[in-house]
Amino acid sequence: MELFNIFIKAAFIENLVLAYFLGMCSYLAVSKTVKTAFGLGLAVIFVLGVTMPVNWVISEKLLSEDGWFGVDLTFLRFILFIAVIASMVQLVEMIVEKISPSLYNSLGIFLPLITVNCAILGGSLFMVAREYNFSESIAFGLGGGFGWFLAIIAIAAIREKIRYSNVPPALRGLGMAFILTGLMGIAFMSLMGIDPTALTAGK
């Protein structure tokens, strides 16, 4: 139940894109069609879901003072996190290239750029700051990824729809995407404030 709460919270209530505005660059750039957005969203779910527990092991067992070495190495956190994320992204890239070359081509540079997608590094840093344990970090990673995935396919569907709208020329493309993201953020505020842990504690 605790894990489910963390999943729901990361996916809907504290959505990485629409509540923290993390991972905006690929979110805005790849959301032109639902198909590519879907592929990138799945890649982000995978990378977040895998890097989070790996990074948990690194930060708890290698870098912390209570870990195996007994030395405080937390200054290495950022570089090690990035290294883990980069290697995972490499893995995803190889898989996508093998399975679906068309998706690989349409994602282009944004697939390797997941490495510097701040939603993913941000997720790992949230995990450290909130002191999740191993299984909680998996739930948080999958939930955060799922929230990112939902946000990007929702905006992609809207952008496919407004392609036929008479948008003022100055706002076409990115301008509209920014306005849409803001409006979606307002809509997602509906769930902000729900505290799943408090609800289950009452039971």
96 vs 151, which CB is nearer to other proteins? 151
Cα(94)–Cα(147) distance, integer angstroms: 24
Spatial contact of 146 and 17, defined as CB atoms under 8 Å apart: no
- Write down the number of H helices and E strands in the chain: 9, 0
Residue pointed to by tokens 């290697």: 87
50 vs 152, which CB is nearer to other proteins? 152
Quickly list DSSP for 56-88.
Answer: HHIIIIIISTTSSS-S--GGGHHHHHHHHHHHH
Select the residue interacting with other proteins from 25, 91, 94, 192 (CB under 8 A): 192
Total number of residues shown for the chain: 203
Write the CB contacts of 143 (distance below 8 Å, at least 6 apart in sequence): 6, 7, 8, 9, 10, 11
CA distances from 200 to 11, 137, 140, 196 (A): 18, 20, 18, 6
Smallest gap from residue 186 Cβ to other proteins (A): 6
Cα(141)–Cα(123) distance, integer angstroms: 7
70 vs 169, which CB is nearer to other proteins? 169
Helix or strand or coil: residue 86? helix
Select the residue interacting with other proteins from 158, 173, 174, 197 (CB under 8 A): 158
Q: Is 190 in the site for other proteins (CB under 8 A)?
A: yes
Tell me, residue by residue from 117 to 156, as one string, x for binding to other proteins by CB under 8 A and - for no binding.
------------------------------------xx--
Select the residue interacting with other proteins from 1, 79, 98, 165 (CB under 8 A): 165
57 vs 191, which CB is nearer to other proteins? 191
126 vs 149, which CB is nearer to other proteins? 149
Could you say which residues in the range 1-40 bind other proteins, by CB under 8 A? 34
Select the residue interacting with other proteins from 25, 174, 195, 197 (CB under 8 A): 195
**Positions in the binding site for other proteins (CB under 8 A):** 34, 153-154, 157-158, 160-162, 165-168, 171, 176, 179-180, 183-184, 186-195, 199-200, 202-203
